[in-house]
Amino acid sequence: MIMLPSIYRGIWRAVHTLRKRGTPPCRFLSTCDGLPVGLADAETIFALSSGHGRCGVAVVRASGPASATALRCMAGLSRSLPPPRTALLRSITDSQSKEVLDRGLVFWFPAPHSFTGEDSVEFHIHGGPAVITAVLQALGSVPGMRPAEAGEFTRRAFQAGKLDLTEVEGLGDLIHAETEAQRRQALRQMSGELGHLYQDWTHKLKRCLAHVEAFIDFSEDELIEDGVLNQVDRWVCDLQAEMEQHLKDERRGERLRSGVQVVIAGATNAGKSSLLNTLCQRPAAIVSPIAGTTRDIVETALDIGGFPVLLSDTAGLRESQDLVEREGVRRARERVEQADLTLVVVDCAHLPSDAQQAAAFLQEHLRSVLPTQEQPETVFAADRFLLLLNKTDLLPEEQRQKLDRELRRVSGFPPVCLISCHTNEGLQDFLTVLHSSVKTLCGDPLSGAPTLTQARHRAHLQQCFAALAQYQRYRDIDLALAAEGVRLALTSLGRITGRVGAEEILDIIFKDFCIGK
């Protein structure tokens, strides 16, 4: 969230001073005379929309019925407003002192053709802190205007029907996107693809509910055709199949939105911290020849070929009498259980010289790293583990080739990469394999049907699916209860887009937006 404490303290001081003075609402330039009574009490909001910090151009946005007043007073305009969505170069003045604050562009967006659906105005000014503060304070002195809360512009757009909640969330994700894949997914959701899918399901559920309730109300009068309920049965089955397929996305959209959890695990002194530092290209973790140097989780965010990765270095897995190290090992195993992808690092110097014995050694080592629930498995999930044989620069070339051939021959092994963090040998091949694994976990954000991106979407869809099961369960027992199942399904689906019962989740969604958006 973007915080502007000094700027907004100045605004509130200015507003408070005006109220103490009892400044009348019409104490403005002559261009502001003749305004409707009570405009000073209207809810018009303003904020810096372009983000805090020195920049060439800053954008200050206002939305609400007093926007036109602010534009006239601060841009020195007559009663006529500039053409909509047309840049106009003006001197920006303080409506109280008449001092020129800056010279910039102003834009007028009359309702309903604006982002919020209200009358809106934008001031494109120079991005120095003093200029921004002065303009915001001047806006705060205009009657009927107040600083916006975080996400309030977008909330007004939602309430005006400009965006549904999935589009709002897509916009928020686009603002926070740090990688190319995140940007593509967020832009696709903001464009309404996910919302259109849910709206289509909503229309189908409404049709199902209408047919069931019509059958309940009019079947005794023989006004309903035969087979109406059979048609509803088919529609419900089709919807369930579509939702089930939609839910079986292996959390790809959520994973892309929040980042793939990649954990580096293995024995002490295998080179885990060296690998972390090599990947993030900075000394993020302490590297030492002393075993057990890393005790806690060391995290760093990476962009792997456009996909977000949260990389975690963990304590070396071994038995220890040291209480602190034991806690570090416990946390390491816990993080491996939670990981989307685990990089198992092995010191080549500890491998048997015979290639077949080395393969058997590595299989046993992998089992020691695996989460407890996966211990019985003999085939290691290729999409969950990568085996990295580090310090290959210490092995003779012939031994490396034999080892590589033997491991490729063994079935059920995860992908194996031979690397050296000391010489960087094999790192490029490893990054290619890592990118492929991460891409598989996230999927292609531009292909196929839109995916779930929020945990709340999944929860409401699961409730919707369960409600449709209620329809099938009571269909031949109590049709009223069956109809209630369809109604509950419709409500759960409506909560995703905000069309039904959305009030209790609005604060949760909008609280993470920047002020001015």
Query: Where do the domains of the chain lie?
Result: 44-148, 193-250+454-501, 254-442
- pLDDT higher than threshold 50 for residue 36: no
The residue among 114 and 8 whose pLDDT is bigger is: 114
Fill in the DSSP letter of residue 314.
-
- pLDDT higher than threshold 90 for residue 509: no
CATH topology of domain 193-250+454-501: Four Helix Bundle (Hemerythrin (Met), subunit A) (1.20.120)
Q: pTM for this structure? A: 0.80
The strand pairing partners of 262, in sequence order, are: 311, 341
Of the listed ranges 81-95, 332-346, 432-446, 499-513, the one predicted with least confidence:
499-513
The strand pairing partners of 147, in sequence order, are: 46
* CB within 8 Å of 345: residues ≥ 6 apart: 264, 265, 266, 270, 271, 272, 275, 388, 390
Q: What is the mean pLDDT of the chain?
A: 85
- pLDDT higher than threshold 70 for residue 515: no
- pLDDT higher than threshold 50 for residue 177: yes
* Closest C-alpha among 120, 131, 441 to residue 257: 441
d(CA 390, CA 387): 9
Q: What is the mean predicted confidence (pLDDT) over 302-309?
A: 95
Q: What is the pLDDT of residue 513?
A: 52
Q: What is the pLDDT of residue 14?
A: 45
d(CA 517, CA 466): 36
User: Over the stretch 499-508, which tens digit does the pLDDT of each residue have?
Assistant: 764 454 455 4
342: its two tokens: 């685990």
- pLDDT higher than threshold 80 for residue 516: no
Q: What is the mean predicted confidence (pLDDT) over 53-76?
A: 94
Q: Could you give the percent of the chain with pLDDT greater than 90?
A: 61
Under the banding of pLDDT at 50, 70 and 90, the label for residue 67 is very high
Under the banding of pLDDT at 50, 70 and 90, the label for residue 226 is low
Q: What is the pLDDT of residue 514?
A: 56
Domain 254-442 has CATH 3.40.50.300: yes
* Angle subtended at Cα 106 by Cα 104 and Cα 108, rounded to the nearest 5 degrees: 180
Which CATH superfamily, name and number, covers 44-148? Answer: Probable tRNA modification gtpase trme; domain 1 (3.30.1360.120)
Residue 240 host element (H or E): helix 228-247
Q: Which amino acid, residue 429? A: D
CA 324 to chain CA mean position, Å: 35
SS3 assignment, position 318: coil
Q: What is the pLDDT of residue 12?
A: 43
Fill in the DSSP letter of residue 415.
P
* Cis bond before residue 143 (omega within 30° of 0): no
Q: Which amino acid, residue 88? A: L
Longest dimension (CA), the chain: 94
* DSSP output for 35-69: PPTTGGGS-EEEEE-S-SS-EEEEEEEEESTTHHH
User: Over the stretch 362-413, which tens digit does the pLDDT of each residue have?
Assistant: 888 888 887 755 544 445 566 789 999 999 988 888 888 888 888 888 777 7
- pLDDT higher than threshold 60 for residue 109: yes
* CB within 8 Å of 117: residues ≥ 6 apart: 111, 156, 157, 160, 161, 162
d(CA 118, CA 109): 8
Q: Are strands 55-63 and 44-48 parallel, antiparallel or unpaired?
A: antiparallel
User: Over the stretch 8-29, which tens digit does the pLDDT of each residue have?
Assistant: 444 444 444 444 444 443 333 3
User: Over the stretch 141-175, which tens digit does the pLDDT of each residue have?
Assistant: 999 999 999 999 999 999 999 999 999 999 999 99
Under the banding of pLDDT at 50, 70 and 90, the label for residue 511 is low
Q: What is the pLDDT of residue 41?
A: 44
